[in-house]
Structure 1
Amino acid sequence: MTEPTTAARRRPRFDARMVRQAAYLLADLPIGITAFALTVPLLSVGVGLLITVVGFWVLFALLLLLRAGSALERARARVLLGEDVPEPAPVQGRRPGFMQLVIATLTDGLAWRSVLYSVIMLPWGIIAFTCTVVSSVVLFPLLPWVVHGLSSVDRALVGSLLSPGRLTERVRELEDDRGAVVDTAAADLRRIERDLHDGAQARLVTLAMDLGLAKEKLTEDPDAAARMVSDAHNEVKLALRELRDLARGIHPAVLTDRGLDAALSSLAARCPLPGGVRVEVELPERPDSAIEGIAYFTVSELLTNAAKHSHAQSASVEIWRSDERLMLQVRDDGVGGAQELPGGGLAGLAERIRAVDGVFVVASPVGGPTDVTAELPWRTRTAAR
């Protein structure tokens, strides 16, 4: 027997889903009466007393109460209507403190939409209750269709008035991404500081001390002084090499001067995979410099992972443009099993890419191969402006 389609399963009919919807509609009236009786008097008092401090406190209490009530309504819609209603973020002030919470509540869009919902629910509750009861008594064969149509209105009310708006969700998403980028930048700064302190800085301190000793021995023991200067010269070379490696890790000069093709080819040449790395870059022009940097370091991290952890013999890197997106794919023939785990390297790459509205997908079955695909905007929003 074939499985019924989604449309067939959701077609109005006498079933448990219709009973839950009817229960929701019958409850609209008592909820509407309660919400209206609570909202309208308190709103009138609050607005009427706005010239005094009392009005603000009345409105604050009303909005807090209705915002809590909206959570119950969203739960009711999830249980009885099967509506997947997202929960909004809690009200928070820009800074800690009770007065900041008061200001945030008085300016909260969801709280004021809850006021509108409470006012609308009385007339709508009367309509929904009446139509459901009349259909149950007089038009019973049509009950599933009547219930379905009325519950669609309830879904629209909950979705439009009691759900976080798309803009609000987008702002919260961008705030999370910004926090991830800030954490990543702070970790990078700590790594650079550690590398400078433990590497080049330590060598330069040693070099200064050796040159000081060589200066003292210059007249007493010229041969020893010459040997010390020769050793210091070698230390200078090592320090310069470490500084070049560090600078390459921050932003390689070849990327700035010649773009992704040359930079990735240089990166592939240094990768220690036995079978080498094949690089194919097909770009009609260069993307935004920030996007180039993200793409470069994504490939660098993925090739490092392939060399250290996947036991791969070879890898390939492909970069191309698709409309206004920069596409990136890195594949290795290693053992697979790579996962985007919280706190892991792949999760850090994903956060950096998603912070600029990018997409990061890992396909790495056990046994390999590992395919990582990233999609980045061709231009950042700042560059576009």
Structure 2
Amino acid sequence: MRSSKINFTNAQGEVLSGKLDLPANQDPHNFAIFAHCFTCTKDFSAVRNVSRALASQGFGVLRFDFTGLGDSDGDFADTNFSSNVDDLISAADFLAKEYKAPSLLVGHSLGGAAAIFAGGKIDTIKAVATIGAPSNPVHVQKQLGAQLATIREKGQAQVKLAGRDFTFKKQFIDNLEENSCVEAARNLHEALLILHSPQDDTVSIKNAEEIYLAAHHPKSFVTLDGSEHLLIDKENASYVGKIIAGWAARYIPTPDEASISTTHQVVASLDAEDGFSTLLKLGSHHMKADEPVRVGGNDYGPTPYELLAGSLSACTAMTIQMYAKRKNWHIETVECHTSYSKTHAEDCAVCDESDTAGKIDTFHREIKIISDLDEKQLKRILQIADKCPVHKTLHSETQVLTKLV
């Protein structure tokens, strides 16, 4: 994953601080915005880990500090729930101007409620995912404890949350009471994913039920069994990110999927401005092929010869396991390690005499098998490896018939 610091301004002209997490070896297929939990920041562990998991699945993710929090400018005392929603809209405007308009909103806790409100106000959003979100923003009032009465009576009070002092004004309380997440869910027409833990002691799972019942289809619910509200555990947070990415793929088509199609088994598409980064559609699967940086590529995908060697490796492993299952031989794992090179014919002991003038394509294949097979069985497995269909294709006379269409 690649991560860079960014800044953008909100509707009041205040500078908000964020980080943009990008996939390691490819351009993002879509952009997402992450709304952090109440009084948290962009660097909170759950925010960071979910964002990284989404980036590993090809998303570019903007996580930022709401006004008056973390590294962002502004006075927290002057903010409220509605200003958080406005900050999300500003973040979307920034991405649309500098990168690409976001298609996914993700929010944690109160950030999840804000994501539902903002999702209906940002035209490019196609999907919204919430994590442990309250069904009503007013839910956070209980975190103010005894100071809530002071805020109502005197207009403001200082509250200590997670070891930090925050000043809350009466306008913050009033704003919470004016906004209903259930009502916003009723007005949301984008796809909605609700993730919530039944063990959440901060925001009970009843909140997820209320949001789900209010929302339109398409809507989905995933239980985060065993997780706590703040999603501190890295494994749980990574799981959440991958779940969101997999779910969103149904509602957010990637540019690769939208731009190439074929009646053949495989199609490759390469635009002039993309260097060697080639879009591939192999059956129903999309990926990229590329060349290494040292030869002018971006290294966004395997090279054509790596794909060819990969075909041989995959077919070898499949053929061996298929044969073993048919014989009722248990092979725990089979690994096929393959490299491709051009070998001088005079160095090749098995080359035909007709090849001696030049070089020959050579695949070096090593097979590692974890099993209890005896020596005779292993010898048979090695013979079977040479019978895999791709191996046979590489050894047979082939032809490529080409025409312009």
Band of TM-score, shorter chain: under 0.3
Structure with the higher fraction of residues in helix conformation: 1
Give the structure with higher Rg (CA). 1
TM-score by length of 1: 0.22
Structure with the higher fraction of residues in strand conformation: 2
TM-score by length of 2: 0.21
